[in-house]
Structure 1
Amino acid sequence: MELRNIVNLAFIYLLLLTSAFGQESLEKNLLPNVSETEFQTIVQFYEYDKNIPLDARVVGTQELDYGIREKIVFKGINNSIVPAYIVIPKNKTEPHPVVALVDGIFGSKERWFQDDSWPKGGLMTTSLVKAGFAVIILDAVNHGERAWEYGYNSPPWPFSYPNEFRQMVIQTATEYRRAFDYLATRSEFETSKIGMLGLSMGALITFELTSIDARIKTAIAGVVPPLRRKDLQAVDVCTFASYVNSSSFLMFMGNEDPLYSMEEAEEIFNRIPIKEKEFVEYNAGHEPPIEYVDKATNWFTLYLKQF
């Protein structure tokens, strides 16, 4: 049975199990929550068969001013082919700690090489690689080189096509797990030191994976939108925040972002159950400000390099 059918059946079961969807928590909090039983049901959606070969290969190499960029492809979920970039620092001692970069909806791996893009991607990538980190960036399902998967239409917006959005996010998150498996096959990378930086939709994925994949030691999530819907429960930050299990976590939000209030942002942060965490409020909307580049680089230097 295909993953899509399995996830849909499991999701129907989850809706039956949680018909009230956090009714009790809604009386106490601004945002919905889930029980441990509900969470464990959701986690199953992100599992994958590790014995399926990655069939990974390097299909291109480019020398940049600050590193070597490899283009790789590997087998994802449902026989998908996932294109990705890995950037390896020049003149740095191997093995390298690795930061996975995860863009928002409508983004692509190319934006992480454009200084003026929405994530300030070129600045962020350059800063991290110059600091000694390797980075890995995937094209999300239906994005970038994978736009053909959705008929070259815009990726599904969560509040217009919630089921399509849910499938897209779960598959992309799982394919990042497959990417971590690939990193472990190469000696250049120190896979005991993996970090993740995600923005908007990528921040949803960051919360998801720091809750279920112990290989992520520290993470940064920016401008993460609470989804607040039962049919998006399986990908909602409200579901995962209470189960973050990385060693450290930085969350930054914009106080002019129309997708949440600062009270909701603080509630999400307060749910994170670890001690080594930090919340940053920027005077910004739903876009990371340029100041986050230095903040993120310093965070990974402190909490990943020295882990």
Structure 2
Amino acid sequence: MMKYSKNKRNWLIGVTLIGLVTLGMLQFVFGLSTSFPVAEYYEYDKAIPLRDTTRIVLDTTDYQTFSISYNSVHDQRVSGLLSIPKNIAKPIPTIILMHGLGDHKAVDYVAYGNESFLKNGYAVLRIDISGHGERKKEFYDFDLTGPNKYWTRNIVSQTVFDLRRAIDLIETKSELDPDRIGYYGISLGGIIGSIFCGVDHRVKVPVLALAGGQLNLLYGKQAVSKEVKDFLGIIEPLNFIADISPRPLLMLNAKNDEIVPPIMSKLLYKKAKKQKEIIWYDAKHRDAPLDIIYGDGLDWFNQNL
């Protein structure tokens, strides 16, 4: 075996260190480093107090509904509704139910789902997407390719943080089971849910309705550019959907969807890993039959949650 003198060994160590430093500088200057792990963007300080409030707004023979609010990341205050069925053994499994673009937590199609899940023994938590409902201030055009693209991206990313804090809230409620949390998101709520459920494994059973991925397709000829890829990285569903596995994922989509093209839904489903299932409806985005689309989601929860 060849032996090195002490001085020669020190020289080799020095050259190696210089080489490593130089490589690091080249990676920094020329962008040769690996991509930022986007899931880490959604880490946050759980120690920050929720400072939540709860006020009863409806009390029936079958359930109670509470108006709730709590602190989220970036000094955001989140508004929501928590409905808890009566005469059910506690702790109760909970469904987080999310609306679509331009709507709010109490919009008619979400209220329909709330009633359906309550009747079947689930508590339901509905919150307003960032910039929606009670959280709406000045609303700009929601457009990832236009002059409000950063504002638009922040709507999505902020809501992921808000949903993670929503689970923190659920964990403080003795009547709710923190080990049996489902998610049902519709349209934008489904797109946000693909990110949220990928980064937060406390959601045991995700259902994504009328959602899709490969957002860069919105950019036409610029779709494959590094600039577009980098901009969309933290909100691209394809970057997160595989991390839902091995939890059971259900996707519900419309064959004639004019808002979320079916190809985007197919790409999202393909990227997801097992256990997964997709159901297609002979419908457009806004006329998918509520009783069926919620019924299929309910069956999935009953089987897996």
**How would you bin the TM-score normalised by the shorter chain?**
0.7 to 0.9
- Consecutive unaligned residues in structure 2, runs of 5 or more: 1-26, 217-227
- Name 1:256's counterpart in structure 2: 256
Structure 1 residues 195 and 246, CA, compared in 2 at 3 Å: closer, same or farther?
farther
Q: In structure 2, what residue type is equivalent to 1:127?
A: S
Report deviation, 1:133: 0.5
Report deviation, 1:255: 1.1
Report deviation, 1:246: 5.2
Q: What secondary structure does 1:48 align onto? A: coil
- Name 1:269's counterpart in structure 2: 269
Structure 1 residues 158 and 285, CA, compared in 2 at 3 Å: closer, same or farther?
farther
Q: What secondary structure does 2:253 align onto? A: strand
For the residues of structure 2 that align with 1:223 and 1:81, how far apart are their CA atoms?
27
For the residues of structure 1 that align with 2:76 and 2:263, how far apart are their CA atoms?
40
- Name 2:294's counterpart in structure 1: 293
Report deviation, 1:162: 2.0
Structure 1 residues 155 and 97, CA, compared in 2 at 3 Å: closer, same or farther?
farther
Runs of 4+ in 1 over 3 A off after TM superposition: 16-19, 259-264
Structure 1 residues 264 and 61, CA, compared in 2 at 3 Å: closer, same or farther?
closer
Task: Give the counterpart of 1:198 among 185, 188, 193.
Answer: 185
Flag the structure with more relative contact order, 1 or 2, with Cα contacts below 8 A and sequence separation at least 6: 1
For the residues of structure 1 that align with 2:199 and 2:90, how far apart are their CA atoms?
28
Tell me if structure 2 keeps the 8 A contact 1:210–1:245: no
For the residues of structure 1 that align with 2:89 and 2:160, how far apart are their CA atoms?
30
Count of aligned residue pairs for this structure pair: 262
- Name 1:157's counterpart in structure 2: 143
- Name 1:186's counterpart in structure 2: 173
Structure 1 residues 110 and 18, CA, compared in 2 at 3 Å: closer, same or farther?
farther
Report deviation, 1:253: 1.2
Report deviation, 1:260: 4.8
- Give deviations 1:110-162, integer Å, cap 9, x for gaps: 11xx2xxxxx22221111011110011111111001112xx2x2563333322
For the residues of structure 2 that align with 1:17 and 1:197, how far apart are their CA atoms?
38
For the residues of structure 2 that align with 1:91 and 1:245, how far apart are their CA atoms?
34
- Give deviations 1:19-42, integer Å, cap 9, x for gaps: 9xxxxxxxxxxxxxxxxx64x621
Q: In structure 2, what residue type is equivalent to 1:247?
A: R
For the residues of structure 1 that align with 2:266 and 2:245, how far apart are their CA atoms?
18
- Name 1:24's counterpart in structure 2: none
Q: Does 1:85 align with 2:81?
A: yes
Task: Give the counterpart of 2:93 among 97, 115, 119.
Answer: 97
Q: What secondary structure does 2:37 align onto? A: helix
Q: What secondary structure does 2:167 align onto? A: helix
Higher CA-based Rg: 2
Q: Does 1:41 align with 2:37?
A: yes
Structure 1 residues 257 and 67, CA, compared in 2 at 3 Å: closer, same or farther?
same
Report deviation, 1:18: 9.0
- Give deviations 1:220-240, integer Å, cap 9, x for gaps: 111113311422232122222
For the residues of structure 1 that align with 2:182 and 2:31, how far apart are their CA atoms?
34
Q: Does 1:126 align with 2:127?
A: no
- Consecutive unaligned residues in structure 1, runs of 5 or more: 1-12, 20-36, 115-119
For the residues of structure 1 that align with 2:260 and 2:103, how far apart are their CA atoms?
21
- Name 1:140's counterpart in structure 2: 129
- Name 2:279's counterpart in structure 1: 280
Q: In structure 2, what residue type is equivalent to 1:45?
A: Y
Q: In structure 1, what residue type is equivalent to 2:296?
A: K
For the residues of structure 2 that align with 1:197 and 1:65, how far apart are their CA atoms?
25
Q: In structure 2, what residue type is equivalent to 1:283?
A: D
Q: What secondary structure does 2:75 align onto? A: coil
- Name 2:105's counterpart in structure 1: 109
- Name 1:55's counterpart in structure 2: 51
Structure 1 residues 264 and 188, CA, compared in 2 at 3 Å: closer, same or farther?
same
